[in-house]
Structure 1
Amino acid sequence: MPATSLPTLIVVSGPAGAGKTTLAHAIARAVGCPAICRDEIKEGMVHAAPAGFVPGPADELTMRTLPTFFATLELLLRAGVTTVAEAAFQDRVWRPRLAPLLGLAEVRVVHCVVDADVALARKVRRGKDNPLRRAHADPAVDDVAAHALAHNAFDRVRLDAPSIEVDTTAGYDPGLAEIVAFVGGPGLQDRRPQ
């Protein structure tokens, strides 16, 4: 019997407004796997939230979302499912929670980057265009300098795993084909049973 290989865990990270969710879904479609997005889990939870729910940095749903996100990743990886994991977590949140999963998957990290002013414009637009954002305590964006400071201080995830930086300002640089090749898209096909 041939030895089975590990699934791939593709971690997509970066500051808010960096284009992570859109890229995570594009990678998942190209590779042929699920994308598990932290904000989408919380947006699903808000439908069953008590009346009068008010989002905040440590609200009930935020506290429930974190373990749910990582438990979902673990469940999928233990089942041998290659998975895209997307969140705006900084290193202090990602690294300790990914450590137990490292033996379950080959990890690839995709860092999304964009200038602070582009991220700010995206955050303003999605706040207006997406009613599901009511699940999140999106910070006020009226202080451009404070936003830029927080954006530029983002502490990217640091794992002992291959990583790639993707500028999402106008499309993807490097392009999606190169990103998919980096995460093992074509190589995933080589690992499938014939």
Structure 2
Amino acid sequence: MLSNALTDPPLPELPPAAAELLLADNAPPRLAAHLRLVHDVAIQLSDWLATAYPGLYFDREAVLFGAATHDIGKIVHPEELSGPGKLHEPAGEQLLLRSGVEPRLARFAATHGSWTAAGVVLEDLLVSLADKVWKAKRVVDLEQLLVERLMAVTCGESWQAFLALDDFLTRIADGADDRLAFQNGYPIRS
């Protein structure tokens, strides 16, 4: 079932290194499906930003890897697959570091739920946003932080950036029911 969660259409497959980690740790299939969904939204978000804000620099590969592994700590804390909790965040970062993942990439497991913390960079905001909007959850504070980062590299008005982002995120959110059905089609346990 894990293999199917990692490869079933219509979603793009995860970066090979992320998929290998999930297979090596026998991740729950639902976690793999969730990571693919967030990864897919991160791809769409990255593509939109590259088109809408061509002067904006961000590490696309880091964002995509971060989206593909942000909840990997739920392997250690599977109870957080079906309930609330933040124990998976530091556990995920540690799991990734022990697996040889660079700290600059492992950090997303710890930062995806704390976008207001000191030192959060644009890539962290993008992973956090993808992790929210995939299921149509809109977080105004998070979106406003992204708009502020966009305004730092453009000469436009913040209201224009907010409207453009809002329009894009609304289109993404419109597919939430299908994404939730895809995720829920996989069991929580291996």
User: Given the two structures, how large is their TM-score scaled by the length of structure 2?
Assistant: 0.27
Considering Cα pairs closer than 8 Å and 6+ residues apart, tell me whether 1 or 2 has the greater RCO.
1
Q: Which has the larger radius of gyration?
A: 1
